[in-house]
């Protein structure tokens, strides 16, 4: 079973993603910010990361750049934000995200993109 780490400080948002992903057969773990996500990533393996941009202590950009630069995981990461500007998108990609989505996120949109990043769809 593929394992996904959701990194978001909003509890309801984590529950929302979790219900969608578990419904599709993924195993899910959660972290409240970049530091907790780092703690978990050092101890467990995740096939995919779903990361919010704005979080206390360590934001999404800084978490992903640390994850990549310390080579803790090069597995795909989806970054989710409320900001739609080209600048934000570019920053996300530079920091190590493979995909940038703007909120609100619909269930099928989340799943399609997860499958895409996990290499589960072939067009």
Partner 1 sequence: MAFIKKQPEKVIEQCERKRERNCASFELQLSDPNPTARRWAARDLADCLDSSAALVAQLLREQNSSVREIILTTLTKLGDEVAVAGLVNCLRSEDAALRNEAIEAMKMLPDEVAPIMSQLLQDTDSDVRIFAVNVLESLQHEQVEEWLNEVIEHDAHVNVCATAVDLLGEVGTSYSWEALENLKARFPDEPYISFASDLALKRIRGS
Partner 2 sequence: MAPITLSHEEFLKFREFFYRKTGIQFEDSKRYFVDKRLIERIEATDSGNFRNYFITLRFETSGQELQTLTNLMTVNETYFFREEYQFKCLVSSILPEITALRKKQGPIRIWSVPSSSGEEPYSIAMYLLEYWPGINLWDVEIISSDIDTKIIAQARRGIYSDRSIQHLPKNLLEKYFHYNGEGYQICDDLRQAVEFTKVNLMKPSDVRGYREFDIIFCRNLLIYFDDLSRRQAADTFYDALNPGGFLCLGHSESMSRVSSLYQVRKFSDAVIYQKSMEAQ
The residues binding partner 2 (CB under 8 A) are 9, 11, 31-33, 35-36, 38-39, 42-43, 57-58, 66
Question: Binds 53, which of partner 2, partner 1, none (CB < 5 to 8 A, cut-off by type)?
Answer: partner 1
57 binds partner 1 (CB under 8 A): yes
87: β partners: none
Q: How buried is 3 (Cβ within 10 angstroms: 0-12 exposed, 13-18 middle, 19+ buried)?
A: middle
**Whether residue 104 has a cis bond before it, omega within 30° of 0:** yes
Using CB under 8 A, which of the segments 21-29, 48-56, 69-77, 111-119 binds partner 1? 48-56
CA–CA separation, 85 and 76 (whole Å) = 22
Which parts of this chain interact with partner 1 (CB under 8 A)?
10-13, 15-16, 19, 53-57, 59-62, 82-83, 87, 103-107
């Amino acid at each position: 079973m593929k394992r996904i780490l959701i990194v978001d400080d909003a509890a309801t948002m984590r529950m929302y993603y979790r219900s969608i992903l578990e419904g599709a057969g993924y195993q899910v773990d959660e972290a409240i910010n970049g530091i907790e996500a780092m703690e978990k990533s050092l101890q467990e393996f995740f096939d995919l990361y779903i990361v919010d941009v704005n979080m206390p202590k360590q934001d999404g950009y800084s978490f992903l750049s640390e994850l990549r630069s310390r080579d803790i995981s090069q597995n795909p990461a989806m970054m989710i934000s409320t900001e739609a500007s080209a600048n934000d998108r570019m920053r996300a990609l530079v920091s190590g995200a493979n995909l940038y989505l703007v909120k609100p996120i619909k269930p099928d949109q989340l799943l399609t993109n997860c499958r895409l990043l996990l290499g589960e769809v072939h067009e």
